[in-house]
C-alpha cells in the first residue's frame, strides 16, 4: 500500500506554492478493449527512411530492424511507431508506392515476431493507412497532417475504427520552417486540435490522440511556449502525445547535434510528463521509461 504520509509538510509555509494537477485519465479503444493511460507510456520510433534527421538509414537491413524493435520492447515501449516517409524540415516527399514498398516487409515481420506489441504507422496517406490496418492489423495511425494532406483520411479512419493521432503542423514538411508566424501559438494550436477532434467525433471517430507538433512549423521560442503550456492542450478525455526526442528545439538551444542531445531530450521529456503528457514518442526508450518512473514517484508524494 502506498504511503500517503505528508508529515514532511509541517505547515503551509513548508508546502510549495504548486500542487500536482490531476486530470481524469483518458483512454482509447485498442483491439476491442479499453486502454487507460493510468500512467504515461512510451512509443518507440522506428524510421525506415534514408533521410530522417537523427536515425535515417540505420534500419534498412531486416536483422537490424528486428533487433532494434525487440530492444525497444525490452526496454519498455508499449507502442512502436513505424514511418517510411521522412517528415524532417525540407524533406522530399516520396510516392505512395515507394512508401508502401518500404513498409510492407518490415511491418509484416514485426507483426509476426511481436504479435502483442501495439503498432502505429506514421503516414498521412489514407491508402497506406488502409492497407496497413487491413493487411497487417496495425493498431493505430499517426498522421502528421491531421487529414490536411489527404482529404480521404478522415473517412478512412472512420471506416477502419482504429485510434488516430492528429498533429498540428503549419504548412508541409517542405516549407513548414520557412517563416512560421502566430499571433498566439498556444491558442492557435489548441483551437486547431479542438476543431479537428470535433469534426472527427461528428464522423463517429472517438479514439483520438492529439500532438501539438513540436518542430513542425514552429520557431524555437514557439516550441518552448507550447511545452510550457502543454497542460492546456489536455482536451477532456483525449490523450496527449509529445514528440520531442532529439529535436532541433533541444539541440539548437544547447548548440550541439541530434546525436549528442540525449540529456537535453530527457530534460524536456520530464517537463512534458509534469505537464500531463500521456505518450512520449522517443528514439531512446530506456531513458524515457526511467523519466516516467521518476516523475510517477514524485507524483505519489502529492496525489
Catalytic site positions: 247, 281
Three-state secondary structure call for residue 16:
coil
- What would the 3-class secondary structure string for 240-258 be? EEECCCCCHHHHCCCCCCH
Can you read off the three cell numbers belonging to residue 228? 510550457
Three-state secondary structure call for residue 281:
strand
Q: Per-residue DSSP letters for 109-137? A: HHHHH-TTSEEEEE-S-HHHHHHHHHHH-
Q: How many residues does the chain have?
A: 303
Three-state secondary structure call for residue 97:
helix
**292-298, Cβ contacts within 8 angstroms, sequence gap of 24 or more:** 292/39, 292/40, 292/41, 292/42, 294/270, 295/40, 295/270, 296/39, 296/40
Burial class (CB in 10 A: 0-12, 13-18, 19+), 63: exposed
Q: Which residues of 75-110 are buried (b: 16+ CB within 10 A; e: fewer)?
A: bbbbbbbbbbbbbbbebeebebeebbebbeebbeeb
Amino acid at each position: 500500500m502506498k504511503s500517503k504520509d505528508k508529515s514532511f509538510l509541517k505547515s503551509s509555509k513548508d508546502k510549495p506554492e504548486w500542487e500536482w494537477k490531476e486530470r481524469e485519465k483518458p483512454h482509447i479503444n485498442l483491439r476491442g478493449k479499453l486502454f487507460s493511460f493510468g500512467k504515461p507510456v512510451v512509443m518507440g520510433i522506428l524510421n525506415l527512411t534514408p533521410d530522417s534527421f537523427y536515425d535515417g538509414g540505420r534500419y534498412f537491413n531486416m536483422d537490424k530492424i528486428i533487433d532494434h524493435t525487440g530492444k525497444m520492447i525490452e526496454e519498455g515501449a508499449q507502442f512502436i511507431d513505424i514511418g517510411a516517409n521522412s517528415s524532417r524540415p525540407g524533406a522530399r516527399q516520396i510516392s505512395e508506392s515507394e512508401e508502401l514498398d518500404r513498409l510492407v516487409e518490415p511491418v509484416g515481420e514485426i507483426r509476426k515476431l511481436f504479435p502483442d506489441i501495439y503498432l502505429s504507422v506514421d503516414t498521412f496517406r489514407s491508402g497506406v493507412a488502409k492497407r496497413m490496418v487491413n493487411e497487417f492489423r496495425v493498431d493505430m495511425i499517426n498522421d502528421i497532417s491531421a487529414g490536411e494532406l489527404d482529404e480521404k483520411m478522415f473517412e478512412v479512419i472512420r471506416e477502419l475504427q482504429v485510434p488516430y493521432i492528429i498533429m498540428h503542423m503549419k504548412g508541409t514538411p517542405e516549407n513548414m520552417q520557412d517563416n512560421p508566424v502566430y499571433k498566439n501559438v498556444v491558442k492557435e494550436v489548441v483551437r486547431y486540435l479542438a476543431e479537428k477532434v470535433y469534426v472527427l467525433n461528428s464522423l463517429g471517430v472517438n479514439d483520438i490522440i492529439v500532438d501539438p507538433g513540436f518542430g513542425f512549423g514552429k520557431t524555437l521560442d514557439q516550441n518552448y511556449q507550447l511545452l510550457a503550456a502543454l497542460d492546456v492542450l489536455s482536451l477532456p478525455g483525449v490523450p496527449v502525445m509529445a514528440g520531442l526526442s532529439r529535436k532541433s528545439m533541444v539541440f539548437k538551444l544547447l548548440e550541439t547535434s541530434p546525436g549528442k542531445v540525449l540529456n537535453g531530450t530527457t530534460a524536456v521529456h520530464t517537463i512534458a510528463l509534469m505537464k500531463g503528457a500521456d505518450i512520449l514518442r522517443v528514439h531512446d526508450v530506456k531513458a524515457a521509461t526511467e523519466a516516467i518512473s521518476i516523475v510517477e514517484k514524485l507524483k505519489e508524494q502529492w496525489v
